[in-house]
Each structure stands twice: as structure tokens, then as C-alpha cells.
Amino acid sequence: MDKGYLTLETGEVFEGVLIGEMKDSFGEVVFNTSMTGYQEIITDPSYAGQIVTFCYPIIGNYGINAMDDESITPALEGVIIGDLCETPSHYQSINKFSEKLKQGGVPGIAGVDTRSLVKTIRSRGTVKGFLSDSKVGKQNFPEEKKTPSWVEKVSTKKIQFFKNNGPHVVLMDFGYKKSILNALLAENCSVTIVPYNTPFEKINALNPDGILFSNGPGDPMELKQWFPQIKKISQHCPTLGICLGHQLIALAYGAKTEKLAYGHRGANHPVKELTTGKVKITAQNHGYVVVDESIDKNTFDVTYRNVNDQSIEGLKHHNFPIQTVQFHPEGHPGPNDTAHLLTEFVSEITSFGETRYAAK
Ligand SMILES: NC(=O)CC[C@H](N)C(=O)O
């Protein structure tokens, strides 16, 4: 097997063997601490532009199945893993992890000292990395190309409709995960998936009962030009924002975001529900966070905080039925502690619709 190298912009080099698509790649090197869910991670569009390091040492052991992709094609730039398992064992497995990477055009290196890499990222903060079959050295580290708009890359280009017999939710697609769509369909919602830049008038014409702003890749500030539209759309009917959706709604109402040192990516992030004091374990995948002091507390209540670093995890508008969460209530393969938020969102849509109908 050919040797492969991850060179960090700070000069450190990590060695392994090349797997997946044989090509050079460049991206922000992040790490995910989940013990399971590698298939969902490599197909989560929020990782566009990033090289993902798996902290869990064995990857590939239960193979790849036909159900768990979060999107049609992986959007991430590369993967870094410890032990690659090429002999998966699971009754639903139809493919090997390395084959899935190849088919998705994703390069990677295996056999890497991922503990050491993660410790480096934790001490340096998130860094850029170059994945290649040769070491490039700090002096020859590739110049950063103008980053494409990752949301533009992963968002749907056409409107898609899923019919059901419950309320109608418009899913604003910034790079949605299939688990969000599945959760809405499981609640009997009809769902229309629309491109991220669909204007208010077009959304209004779809006659939605509820709006969901999805997760997605990149810096939320890149979507600045859409903030006025996002604000208007969020006031139209009950709205839920998840992850990037949460950040965009906060920004649209005047708050600020900042970058965390090395992000929250994993399946065991504790958040505290402030009204009850209960702690829920959540799946997370974000590098940016809403700045506490920038939130207008006369407009929004903070509903959840991260137990580890106290960062903002959820907001609720005082007058409009708008709720946002930084974590993933639909997180797949789990945990499901906050899955009730999607059920509650659908109940809210239903009762809001009934009130509106009664007022006519
Ligand atoms: N999963 C997401 O929606 C990520 C949001 C945003 N791209 C961030 O990294 O913070």
C-alpha cells in the first residue's frame, strides 16, 4: 500500500497509508469523537471543505449499509483514521468503508496516530491540512485557494416535494441531512425541500405550515446577504433552526457568531435545558457558535447551554414561534434525548395552523 501524508499548515506531518480516491486534497482538519456513525459522518454535508479525523480507533468494522447515508454524495475533503477494518461484519453491510470512499471520490489515510493528531489540533486550534502521497513541508504548504461557497455546493438546485397527510414543512436546504427529512416524514409531515436562496415570495406561494432551516457547512457569515430574507421567512409561520439554521436565525436578528477553538463534533455532548435543569446528551458537529453577549435577551430566551463550556445551544423568540438549536435533535445513530423537539415542533405547527384557521 502506498504511503500517504497529512501535512498541517503549522508544519507537523502525520503518516499513514493512502485509502479511498487517490488524489491530493486540502481542507480544515477537524476531529469527531463518536464511537459509531462513521457512515453518517462521511455523508453529512456539513463537513464540506473539511478533512475529518476519527478519534475512535477502529473504522469500517460494521461496513456500510443501504440506509444510513445522510446525502447522496460525500461532501467532505478527506478522512484520517487509525485502524481501517477491511473485513466488516454486520448483517446489513453491503460495502466496505474504503470502497465507499473510492465511490464518493474521497481520499484518506489510515494507520495514523490519530491521538497525537487530535492532541495537536486541540493545542493549535483548528488548522488547515494537505493530504497527499508526499510530505510538502511548511514552506511549500499550498496557498489557500478562494474557498467556494460550500452551501452553494451542497444545497439542492431544484425543489423536491414529499407528500404525506400531516402539516406542510418547507425545509430550507443549506446542506440538510436525510435524518431531518426522515424525522419530519415520520411525524406525517409533507415536506418541500427548497434551495437555500429561495426568496420569501416563493416560499409564501408554497403555503407552508412550518419552516425548518437546516444544518450546513462553512462560516454562517458567508450567507450575510440572505439575513433579511431569513428574518422575514422565520416570521411567516412556526420555525425551527438546526445547527447552521440556528446560527443563521441568530445572525439575522442581529447576534454575532465566532469560531470555537476546535469545535464540537461527536455524539456525547451534554447540554442543559435551562427551564428544567435537565441535562441531555446530544450529537453535534459545528465549528462556529453564537456569541452569548450579542444576543438581544429582550427578543430571545437562551433555552440550552453546553455543560462543558457554557456556550449557547438553543434560543426561543419571545413573540414569534421560532426555536433554534445548535445540536442535532435528529442525530443519527443517536443519541435521541432531544428527538422530542421535532415532535413538539410538529405539534406547534398543527396548533398554530388551527388558531390561524379559527381566526379567519
Ligand atoms: N452542522 C452544522 O450545521 C454546522 C454549522 C456550521 N457550518 C459550523 O461549523 O458551525
Candidate from 286, 311, 330 with most ligand 1 atoms within 8 A of CB, to mutate? 286
Active site residue 187: no
Low-confidence ranges of the chain (pLDDT < 70): 356-360
pLDDT at res. 285: 98
Residue 218 CA to ligand 1 center (angstroms) comes to 6
Catalytic one of 28, 237, 243, 269 = 243
Question: For 111-155, how does the pLDDT look when each residue is reduced to its tens digit (9 = 90+)?
Answer: 999 999 999 999 999 899 999 999 888 888 888 777 779 999 999
End-to-end CA distance of the chain: give it in Å, rounded. 70
Question: For 178-189, how does the pLDDT look when each residue is reduced to its tens digit (9 = 90+)?
Answer: 999 999 999 999
Residue 286 CA to ligand 1 center (angstroms) comes to 4
Q: Which segments are annotated as binding site for L-glutamine?
A: 46, 216, 218, 244, 247, 285, 287-288
Kindly report the pTM of this predicted structure: 0.97
Active site residue 330: yes
Structural domains for the chain: 3-132 (3.50.30.20), 152-359 (3.40.50.880)
Complex confidence, ipTM = 0.98
For ligand 1, atom 4, which residue shows the shortest CA distance?
286
pLDDT-above-70 percentage for the chain: 99
pLDDT at res. 360: 53
pLDDT at res. 357: 57
Residues with CB under 6 A from ligand 1: 46, 215-218, 243-244, 285-288
Please check whether residue 190 is in contact with residue 168, taking contact to mean a CB–CB distance below 8 angstroms.
Answer: yes
